[in-house]
Structures are given as structure tokens and as C-alpha cells.
Structure 1
Amino acid sequence: MTTPFKVAAVQASPIFMNLDASVDKAIGLIAEAAAQGAKLVAFPETFLPGYPWYIWLDAPALTMHNVPVYAANSIKVGSPQDKRLAEAARAHGIHVVMGLSWNENGTLYIAQWHYGPDGEVLSRRKKLKATHVERTVYGEGDGSDMRVYDTDLGRVGALCCWEHIHPLNKYAMFSQNEQIHIGAWPSFSVYEGGAYALGPEVNTSASRMYAVEGQCFVIAPCATVSDAMIEALCDTPVKQQLLKRGGGYARIFAPDGSLLGTNLAPDEEGLVIAEIDLNMIAIGKAAADPCGHYARPDVFRLMFNRKPAPAVMAFDNEFARPLEADVESPETTPAE
């Protein structure tokens, strides 16, 4: 039996396209979550340095002036900002799962970095497939990112936004006995009333169904759009109609789909905090485990390529062996 503990989902806006200021704000929220007893705090999709809403508001050719600024404010591994986040996690003794734009050698990725309470990085993952116009900004991850990790709190995994409406993504994660899932979302602020799939009704339902289907707790942080972001992005009446202030719908769901914690108003910043008890997962598993007793592998199976897929692979990588070595010592051949 495990002991219940508190978790927190962030609902807030970044300091848009200002990495250092957004890290400052994130560290304040980390401290606030820890002060309220949370053992884990999760941040929205691309909280650092903010979701690039301009890609939904105009043609890419007309928003190219944002590209250098957004790239320069996308975080890099080993950067001072990376180290500050790790130190904040360590100083407050809390797990931090940060949503961010990752700049890796010039290509940007929607990503989630998990810092442990000792300040060590537990995982860095990239969104498997950027959605719709996001592909004008971001690259893609690979199967090696679809992983669930053992931690002192339980088995933790993470996905971003519409990764939650892809059935195979979910099944791959469920198969790894995920107990705590971070489902990060941007704000639900664009095309209000005209595209329900982009609104809170559909997407909060996706988080809830993930909890039920996977028999896990889902922490679903969600950003907001600030007045400053409206001023920076909406320079025409049409854009002002397309992007709305607020849009925050942070949620925490139990394995039975029940809503935990106290929700905030869509335009309110803060934390949704709830106590979770991993012992409750057993009830969900007893009823329907789609990767266990409720599966039908004789009818359906998922083929899952978990290998990294680098664009360049050196000849001296670990899978390359001299032919004679394979003949003399077959047991040294790496397993698939």
C-alpha cells in the first residue's frame, strides 16, 4: 500500500517569448506548489516561452518576424535556464514536469522535461507529432520518447495536447503500467465557438478518458492567454476575434474519471491541487485493464518501435560489430 500525496497542475500564462522571465515565473509557481505540500507540479504545453499562437492567426509568411525571437527564447539542454529549473526542483524537494519549446541545434520541439526532487533530470521527451500548423514551427520525436519512468512517487509518463487523441499513443503508454500521467495543454482560446475540437469540452474530455482507459491519475495543466499576449499577437480586429484572453482549464482526474481538486476560472492564474492515492488504481484495473485481462491479443496487437531514430548514425555505434566478433562470440550480439 502506498501513502496518498498531493500533486499540482499549473494554470497560468508565461511571460510570452521571454525565456528568462518565464523561468522566473515558473520558479515562483514551483515554490508555491511545494509550500502547499505538493510532491509534483506539472506545467502546460510550451509554457517556456509560451505557445506560438501567431501560427493560428495568420499565414506563416506573415509571421516570420516571430521566428528568430521564438527560437532564441526556446530552451537548450545545459543552459543556465535548464540549471535554474533543476535547482528549483532540488531546493523545494519536488518533482517538476515542465512544458517547453526545446531548441536542439536549431530545430525546435514541443517537449516535456522531468526534474526529480534531487534536481536530476529524469526524462526529456519530444512530442511525437506536431499538430496541424505546429508543423511550421516544430520537429517530431520518435518512439524512444514514449516511455513511462519509475520514480519515488510511482510510474510517471507524459504526453502533450493532441497526443491524447491518438489511440496508439495511449495504448503504448498504458502498456507500461503508467500510474501518474502528465497531460499538458495550451490554453483553449482560439477559434472560440467555431472549432469544438480545439475547445475545452473535447480536450478536457480527452484527459478524463485517458484516466479511465489507462486506470491512472491524469494531471492536466493548461496555460492561459494574458492581456500582454493579446496585445502582442492581435494587431488586427480579425485576430482579436480569433484569440481570446483566458482559456485556462487545468484539471486533475482520478482513474475512475472523477474530478479532483478545485478548478479555477478560465481567466484565473494559480494551481489546481489534489491529493491522489495510487491504491485506487487497483479498482480500475480490476474492472478493465486494456493491456492486461481486458485485452484480446489474439485479435489486436500494437507494433511499437521504441528505438531512437537519429538522422545520422556513426559506424562505431553500439550495434555495429566486426563480422568475426559475431562469429566467435554470438552471445555478444545486442538483442533487438
Structure 2
Amino acid sequence: MAVPRFKMKVAAVHAAPVYMDKEATTAKVVSIIKDAGEQGIKLLAFPETFIPGYPVCTTPDTFSNMRMGWPQQYFILAYPPLDQIPALAQYARQSVVCSPPDACVRAVQDACRAAGVTVSLGVSERVAGGHTLFNSQVTIEAATGDVLGVHRKLQPTLAERYVWAQGDGSTLRVWRVGVDDDDDNNDYDDYDDNSVDNGVESGGVGVRVGEDGEQPQRNERRRASGDDDSGKKSYNLGGLCCWENTLNGARQALIEADQHVHVGAWPALSTVRGFDRGVADAQIEALTRAHALTAQAFVLCAADHVDGACLEWMRGNLGEQGVVGEGGGWSAVVHPFCSYLAGPHTGGEDRLVAAEVDFGDLGPVKVWIDGNGHYKRPEVLEMRVERKSLWTVPGSDPVSQGRPPGHVEE
């Protein structure tokens, strides 16, 4: 794919969900998308598991002297295992089904199509017809409202493994996102996006042009591979969840898929004991800016914040705790050369952290460093990603089965 050369407005969503209420949170997502569209924003990045909220319930005071004073930010560490079952079952019920898309996902699809906004939406995903959960990012394209794909977090951290299964390499990839040509801010007349890819697969699902020049007929396959013959301007979008951004191999896989925009989705860690005093914010900032430079990509870092409704749910369902307070979160938009285009924004205020990104900046940056080219030294360092899907659910999972991601089963 040629390096894109156009401008567009993007935003990281810094907001709190309606905790443990997927319908109400979905309504909030739809409202945010509508507002973004009215502001001319073309890409929105949502925090980690925004629907139905991150399980940030914490240790009660009776456990506050646990060894080493490490943070106990998950309700699964706070209580005996048998006492956790109702909360975990409730969390599963509040998780969304992405493939085939359930009513919540379809509502977001409709909102994206109506507002002309592409979203990367953090959700707790439940496998259709089952109980397995994944910490996922759903990419929904503005033009069609299609679910381009779902990334499932490869490595849940610590006690997150009580909640979510491990994702596999089949979802470690980028998606080609089309942008309307009539946008006022697309001011590069000499942009050429009709060049043929060099055969390198974007995310392991690439499609080469045949010798006879024929392209695959399915629009979904063209989109998945990055081969877009519609003449649209486009860019490659991928992302990782929270400390998954510490997996250097996962980041390099996205770099080698020719990533242009990265979404780092995070919870509100800075309100948790052990991550306060600026520790969490420093970690998130370091990982965000490091990926911007090493990937030569624009990074949208989106984090939620803890509000009173979340704290009230914890008190009502799991008892009193004195570890987590309101606020937190760290959201920003970062340039490939590490400067801030917007933010960072922290604290308990909902906000769209918005900026204009100029893809024309990618060319000059790659003169200095090209992580998917001369700077990766492929004759010395070799990268391999296992793309096999390990989580196949017959009859219910288009992401794994190869049916179009926007398909809805009757």
C-alpha cells in the first residue's frame, strides 16, 4: 500500500461507561459517535472493555495488607472464589456478542454509518452460544457500518485470566479503513492509493493480484487484505489492549502489517493503589510514545475513568472498599515523532481528545526510521506470527470461519 497522504480528524474517547449495563453504555456510545460526527471526527478510539466496563472492582480493606502491597484491582482477587461466581456470571451476561453481531453491536454499526465515523470499540466479548469471554477491540467502518474485524487480547494480565480467555494470532492484524473522498480536509491532490501491494500480507490475510489481473470478488476479502479497488483514500488501523502494548512481538507484528494508526485501549489504572502517584500515567505515556516512534504511526490512547456509578456498583455487589476512588485515566493523540497532537487528558471528565492527523507526515518520518523497511534488518532479525485460529466456534463465529464479519445470522 502506498503511504497515505491526506488529513482527517480523530479522537480518543476519555469517558466512563454506565458500569455493568451494556444497553445503557451502548446508548452512550451511540451518543458519543453522533457528537463526533457533528464535529467532523472520522475515527473514534474507545477505552478497554468500555462495554460493559472494566472489572476494576477492588480488594476490601481486610485484604489491604497483602504481601508487597501490590494493587488488587480485580474483584476476583478480593473475595473467595465461590463468592465471585455471581459477579463473574453477571459480567458474562453484560458482555456483547460480536459475531454474529448482537443488538448492541448492531446499534453501534448503525450509528457509525449514520455519523460517518469509524470506531475502535473496546468490549468484553462473549462467544455466541457459549460462555467464553475475550477482551476485544471491535473495528467498525463508517462507510458501510460493517464490522471489519475483532482483535482479541493475546495475554490477559494477572487475574484478568479469571475473566477472559487468551486470544490468538488470527486477530493480531490491521484493517484497511476507507475514507470518503469528499472530506474537506483531504487536500493532497497528488495522492495515489491505487498502487498494488507488493504481496506482503496485511495481518496474514493478504490477497495477491493474480497474473490475469483479477481481484477477488468479495468486498470483505479485498478489505481484509488491504486491496481496495474502489479508489477510496484509506489507512491501516490496528490496536492492542492495556499491557498487551508491552508485548514487543505483538507490536512488531502490527508494524510489519504496515500500520498507520494504532489504538491503545486502557482502563483507569491511576486510581488504584500501587498505580497512583503518577505510576500508571507514566507507564501508559511511555508505551504510547514508544509505539508511535517505533511504528511510525499515529497513536490514539483512550482510557476510561471511574465514576460514582461504578463505585456504587462495587459497594452494592461486593461490599465496601477503600482502594479505588473516582477519576483516573490518561488519554492522548500522539504524532509518529512522539509529540502530542492532543492531550494528555486525565481525571473524571468525559471528553473527546481530538486532533487532526496528517498522513503526509509519515513519509518524512520514514526517511529517518522505517520499522517495516530498512530499519528492521530482516536479514538479521526474523519475525514469525502464528495465524492459526485456536478459537473456532462452528456456526457462530464469522471472524474465525471466514464469513463476512458483518454477517448476521437469522
Normalised TM-score (structure 2): 0.72
Instruction: Give, as a single letter, the amino acid of the residue that structure 1 aligns with 2:84.
Output: T
Structure 1, residues 235-272: CA drift from partner, whole Å, max 9, x if none? 799722x2121112111101000111244341211110
Contact residue 296 and residue 371 of structure 2 kept, 8 A: no
Q: Secondary structure at the match of 1:264?
A: strand
Q: 2:95 aligns with which of 74, 81, 88?
A: 74
Q: 2:23 aligns with which of 16, 20, 23?
A: 20
Report what 2:405 is aligned to.
none
Report what 1:137 is aligned to.
163
Contact residue 107 and residue 138 of structure 1 kept, 8 A: yes
The answer to whether the aligner puts 1:49 opposite 2:131 as a matched pair is no
The answer to whether the aligner puts 1:86 opposite 2:168 as a matched pair is no
Residues 311 and 32 (structure 1 numbering): CA distance in 2 closer, same or farther, change over 3 Å?
closer
Report what 1:178 is aligned to.
259
Instruction: Give, as a single letter, the amino acid of the residue that structure 2 aligns with 1:268.
Output: E
Instruction: Give, as a single letter, the amino acid of the residue that structure 1 aligns with 2:390.
Output: A
Contact residue 248 and residue 268 of structure 1 kept, 8 A: no
Task: Give how far 1:80 is off.
Answer: 1.1
Structure 1, residues 123-181: CA drift from partner, whole Å, max 9, x if none? 11211111111000000111111111112241111111111111111111101110011
Structure 1, residues 184-205: CA drift from partner, whole Å, max 9, x if none? 1111234344578961111122
Q: 1:63 aligns with which of 81, 84, 89?
A: 84
Give aligned pairs, total.
313
In the alignment, the residues of structure 1 paired with residue 9 and residue 165 of structure 2 have an alpha-carbon distance, to the nearest angstrom, of 34
The answer to whether the aligner puts 1:225 opposite 2:306 as a matched pair is yes
Task: Give how far 1:234 is off.
Answer: 4.6
Q: 1:297 aligns with which of 378, 387, 390?
A: 378
Contact residue 96 and residue 124 of structure 2 kept, 8 A: yes
Contact residue 189 and residue 225 of structure 1 kept, 8 A: no
Structure 1, residues 16-65: CA drift from partner, whole Å, max 9, x if none? 11000000111111111111110011110000000011262514624332
Contact residue 227 and residue 245 of structure 1 kept, 8 A: yes
Instruction: Give, as a single letter, the amino acid of the residue that structure 1 aligns with 2:304.
Output: A
Q: Secondary structure at the match of 1:86?
A: helix
Report what 1:125 is aligned to.
151
Instruction: Give, as a single letter, the amino acid of the residue that structure 1 aligns with 2:114.
Output: A
In the alignment, the residues of structure 2 paired with residue 212 and residue 261 of structure 1 have an alpha-carbon distance, to the nearest angstrom, of 16
Contact residue 112 and residue 124 of structure 1 kept, 8 A: yes
Instruction: Give, as a single letter, the amino acid of the residue that structure 2 aligns with 1:64.
Output: I
In the alignment, the residues of structure 2 paired with residue 206 and residue 83 of structure 1 have an alpha-carbon distance, to the nearest angstrom, of 32
Residues 263 and 189 (structure 1 numbering): CA distance in 2 closer, same or farther, change over 3 Å?
closer
Contact residue 299 and residue 335 of structure 2 kept, 8 A: yes
Pairing of 1:253-264 with structure 2 (within 5 A) = 253-264=334-345
In the alignment, the residues of structure 2 paired with residue 145 and residue 46 of structure 1 have an alpha-carbon distance, to the nearest angstrom, of 17
In the alignment, the residues of structure 2 paired with residue 205 and residue 289 of structure 1 have an alpha-carbon distance, to the nearest angstrom, of 20
Normalised TM-score (structure 1): 0.87
The answer to whether the aligner puts 1:98 opposite 2:116 as a matched pair is no
Instruction: Give, as a single letter, the amino acid of the residue that structure 2 aligns with 1:76.
Output: V
The answer to whether the aligner puts 1:107 opposite 2:132 as a matched pair is yes
Deviates more, 1:296-305 or 1:185-194: 185-194
Task: Give how far 1:310 is off.
Answer: 3.6
Instruction: Give, as a single letter, the amino acid of the residue that structure 2 aligns with 1:89.
Output: C
Q: 1:148 aligns with which of 166, 170, 174?
A: 174
Identity of aligned residues (%): 32
